[in-house]
C-alpha cells in the first residue's frame, strides 16, 4: 500500500516537472521564447509530439533545465514517412549504425526501469518518449490523442525483441501492441514519429 502511494507521488512529481507542451491545441507552437528551432535534435532523452506536417516539438527530460526544441521536417522526409502502415511490426528496410541503436535502446530501457516505468498521457494528439543518439531514435509512443500508456522494462524489451525477430536487426521498425495505441519503434532521428 505504501509503495503504491509512493509511486503515485513520484508520478505526480514527474508530471509537474515536465512542461506540458502536449497540452497545446494542435495547430499552435509553444510561445517562441520557450523553444529553440533546430535542424537536428541534440543527443538526449525527450518527450514530445509531432504535428501532422512533421514538425516535432520535443522537451529534454535528462537535463536539469528542461529545454524545448522545435524541428521542422524537410518536405521529402515528411512525405517519405507519411502514413506508416498499421501492421503489427513494420520494417522499413533502413539499416542503422549499431552503436546508435544500442545506446538509444539502453537509454529508453533506463527510463522504463524507473519507478512507474514510462508513463505517458497524450493531449490533443499522440505523444512520445524518445532517446536520440548518433542520428538514431528509439521511442515509446502513445499513438492517439487523449490516451494513456505505460511501458516498463519488460514491455520495452518485448517490443524491441519483436522488431528484431521480424525485421533485420538494426533496421528501422516499430512494434505495436495488439489492440492498444502503444508503439515501440526505432527510426532515423530526422524521421517524424508518432503520427497517429
Ligand atoms: C507545422 O504545423 C505547425 C502547427 O500548425 C506549425 O506551427 C508549423 O509551423 C508547421 N511547420 C511547417 C514547416 O510549416
- Ligand 1 centre and the CA of 55: distance in Å? 6
Do 29 and 70 form a contact (C-beta atoms < 8 A)?
yes
Residue nearest atom 3 in ligand 1 by C-alpha distance: 27
14 class by beta-carbon count within 10 Å (0-12 exposed, 13-18 middle, 19+ buried) = middle
- The set of residues, in sequence order, having a beta carbon less than 8 Å from that of 37 and lying 6+ positions away, is 69, 70, 71, 72
pTM: 0.82
Any ligand 1 atom below 6 A from CB of 32? no
- Ligand 1 centre and the CA of 53: distance in Å? 6
Do 47 and 120 form a contact (C-beta atoms < 8 A)?
yes
Between 21 and 62, name the one with better pLDDT: 62
**Which residue range is the domain that position 98 belongs to?**
1-196
Q: Is the pLDDT assigned to residue 78 strictly greater than 50?
A: no
At 164-183, the pLDDT tens digits run 888 887 888 999 998 899 99
What's the domain count of the chain?
1
pLDDT at 116: 93
Amino acid at each position: 500500500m505504501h509503495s503504491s502511494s509512493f509511486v503515485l507521488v513520484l508520478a505526480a512529481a514527474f508530471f509537474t516537472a515536465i512542461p506540458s507542451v502536449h497540452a497545446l491545441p494542435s495547430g499552435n507552437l509553444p510561445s517562441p521564447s520557450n523553444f529553440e528551432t533546430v535542424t537536428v535534435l541534440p543527443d538526449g532523452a525527450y518527450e514530445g509530439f509531432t504535428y501532422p506536417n512533421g514538425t516535432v516539438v520535443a522537451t529534454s527530460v535528462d537535463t536539469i533545465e528542461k529545454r524545448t526544441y522545435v524541428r521542422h521536417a524537410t518536405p521529402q522526409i515528411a512525405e517519405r514517412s507519411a502514413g506508416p502502415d498499421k501492421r503489427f511490426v513494420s520494417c522499413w528496410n533502413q539499416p542503422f549504425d549499431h552503436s546508435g541503436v544500442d545506446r538509444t535502446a539502453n537509454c529508453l530501457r533506463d527510463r522504463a526501469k524507473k519507478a512507474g516505468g514510462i508513463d505517458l498521457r497524450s493531449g490533443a494528439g499522440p505523444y512520445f518518449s524518445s532517446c536520440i543518439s548518433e542520428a538514431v531514435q528509439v521511442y515509446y509512443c502513445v499513438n492517439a490523442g487523449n490516451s494513456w500508456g505505460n511501458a516498463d522494462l519488460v514491455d520495452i524489451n518485448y517490443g524491441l525483441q519483436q522488431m528484431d525477430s521480424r525485421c533485420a536487426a538494426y533496421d528501422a521498425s516499430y512494434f505495436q501492441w495488439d489492440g492498444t495505441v502503444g508503439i515501440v519503434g526505432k527510426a532515423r532521428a530526422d524521421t517524424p514519429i508518432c503520427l497517429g
